[in-house]
Amino acid sequence: MHELSIAMGIVDAALDESQRRGVHVSAVHLRLGALSGVVKDALMFSYEVACQDTPLQGSQLIVEDVPVIVFCAHCEVERELPSVQLFACPECGTPTMDIRHGKELEVFAIEVQEEEVPEEEVRE
């Protein structure tokens, strides 16, 4: 189980953003690919542990599952794989390793509440 080290990486990234922007983070949005090698339930649990005794304690981890999207050279379109056990176009059956999405392990966004800094300075 390596989810705890992943969770600590998430917390580090969010803390860094929080400090840089002078904001309080109430939730972290994560994009998690089906091929990321990370188990969601274990990650949710680990996240809580990783947040302990940090300013992120009590924050929420919101996970957006990203399915595997491949490009089918035969159909010439991107297709979503219904299962990671079969890397073939679900329409025509052509095998493919042209993976376009599904490896994501990305802190996509954070939900923040301003602390004492004026809003202009923290706007994107």
Partner 1 sequence: MSEPRLVEVRRNVLKQNDVIARALREQFRAAGVFVVSLVSSPGSGKTTFLEKTLTQLQPRYRVAALVGDLATENDAVRLARSKAPVKQITTGTLCHLEAAMVQNALQEWDLHQLDFLFIENVGNLVCPSSYDLGENLRLVLMSVTEGEDKPLKYPTIFNSADVAVVTKNELAEAVEFDWNVARTSIQSVRPGMQIFRLSAKTGQGMEEYLNFLAHQLAEQRAVAHI
Residues that bind partner 1 (CB under 8 A): 1-2, 5-6, 9-10, 13, 17, 21, 23-24, 26-27, 29-30, 35-39, 84-88, 95-97, 105-115, 119, 122, 124
- Tally of CB atoms within 10 A around 32: 21
Identity (one letter) of the amino acid at 63? V
Burial (CB < 10 A; 0-12, 13-18, 19+), residue 29, is middle
Q: How far is the CB of 2 from partner 1 (least distance, A)?
A: 4
The residue among 52 and 93 lying less far from partner 1, judged by its C-beta, is 93
The residue among 76 and 85 lying less far from partner 1, judged by its C-beta, is 85
The residue among 76 and 119 lying less far from partner 1, judged by its C-beta, is 119
Q: How far is the CB of 45 from partner 1 (least distance, A)?
A: 16
The residue among 77 and 93 lying less far from partner 1, judged by its C-beta, is 93
CA distance 36 to 5: 14
